[in-house]
């Protein structure tokens, strides 16, 4: 059963970001958004991406849909949403999250599927990709063990290899000239920094994308306990993530003129 939306944010009051530092100390709670699903991104992030890099009627893909935050925003902004997740229980949650009424909207299509192999999506059929992949063995998603779950991978090399498969699928399904955005953070091992985001970004560049933006997203969920733990162990808390916006070159564009935004050869 669908619920009528009564706490939506009017479009004229939504704050469009204009810099490369995004900070949302108050997570949005409009529509069916909530922070109960551990590891989901603030709705302001896909809300901005969808407004900045797509138009009404466009198709937005989230290949690691999680609790459905991207799909909620896509639906409310009159975009056609498509979402996949490897966990069936998470797919059910995302579908439930999109059960609300709104004017001039399209019902998202959310299915169980692996982001590394989305055969049901045709080549060059997607207008925007916006996703928040799981981090390297940090947060476990779903209650059941699922073969191929990225959040269960502990090897940096293996994780990046699997992310490259996702990058190549994203490149395949995205229309020329369109954008692919991913939010990913870094981590620590043995008290030293592991630049996970940089490693993943290289795989997307290797897949053929060029880098449009590297946005710093400020984290606001560092607890007092974590602060004192960091002090005792002599390292700094990581309080940012990277929101990479990649672009697929349009047909006929000269790749060599963007060589400084590629960084990695294919």
For strand 21-23 and strand 109-112, is the pairing parallel, antiparallel, or unpaired? unpaired
Residue 111: pLDDT above 90? yes
- Confidence at residue 264, expressed as pLDDT on a 0 to 100 scale: 55
Q: Higher-confidence residue: 171 or 35? A: 171
DSSP codes joined into one string, 212-261: EEEEEEEP----HHHHHHHHHHT-----EEEEEEEEPPPTT--GGGGGGG
Q: Higher-confidence residue: 104 or 16? A: 16
Q: Are 75 and 105 in contact (CB under 8 A)?
A: yes
Residue 1: pLDDT above 50? no
- Confidence at residue 191, expressed as pLDDT on a 0 to 100 scale: 85
pTM over 0.85: yes
Beta strands in 68-209 (DSSP E): 80-85, 100-101, 109-112, 126-131, 174-185, 187-189, 192-194
Residue 34: pLDDT above 80? no
Mean pLDDT for all residues in the chain: 88
Average pLDDT over residues 156-180: 98
Q: Are 129 and 180 in contact (CB under 8 A)?
A: yes
**Quick one: 30-184+194-218+241-261 is in which CATH superfamily?**
Vaccinia Virus protein VP39 (3.40.50.150)
- Confidence at residue 224, expressed as pLDDT on a 0 to 100 scale: 44
Average pLDDT over residues 210-222: 91
Average pLDDT over residues 159-183: 98
3-state secondary structure of 119: coil
Closest CA to 199 of 148, 251, 143, 155: 155
- Confidence at residue 225, expressed as pLDDT on a 0 to 100 scale: 45
């Amino acid at each position: 059963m669908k619920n009528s939306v009564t706490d939506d944010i009017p479009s004229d009051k939504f704050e469009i970001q204009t810099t490369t530092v995004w900070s949302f100390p108050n997570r949005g709670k409009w529509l069916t958004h909530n922070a109960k699903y551990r590891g989901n991104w603030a709705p302001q992030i896909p809300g901005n991406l969808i407004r900045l890099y797509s138009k009404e009627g466009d198709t937005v893909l989230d290949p690691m849909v999680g609790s459905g935050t991207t799909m909620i925003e896509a639906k409310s902004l009159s975009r056609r949403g498509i979402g996949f997740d490897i966990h069936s229980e998470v797919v059910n949650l995302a579908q439930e999250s999109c059960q609300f009424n709104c004017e001039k909207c399209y019902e998202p299509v959310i299915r169980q599927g692996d982001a590394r192999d989305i055969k049901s999506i045709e080549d060059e059929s997607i207008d925007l990709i916006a996703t928040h992949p799981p981090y390297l063995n940090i947060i476990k998603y779903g209650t059941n063990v699922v073969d191929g779950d990225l959040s269960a991978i502990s090897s940096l090399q293996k994780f990046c290899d699997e992310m490259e498969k996702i990058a190549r699928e994203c490149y395949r399904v995205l229309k020329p000239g369109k954008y692919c955005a991913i939010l990913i953070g870094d981590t620590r091992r043995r008290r030293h920094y592991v630049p996970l985001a940089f490693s993943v970004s290289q795989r997307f560049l290797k897949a053929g994308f060029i880098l449009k933006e590297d946005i710093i997203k400020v984290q606001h969920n560092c607890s007092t306990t974590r602060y004192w733990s960091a002090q005792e162990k002599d390292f700094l808390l990581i309080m940012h993530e990277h929101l990479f916006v990649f672009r697929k070159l349009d047909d006929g564009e000269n790749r060599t003129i963007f060589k400084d935004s590629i960084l990695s050869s294919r």
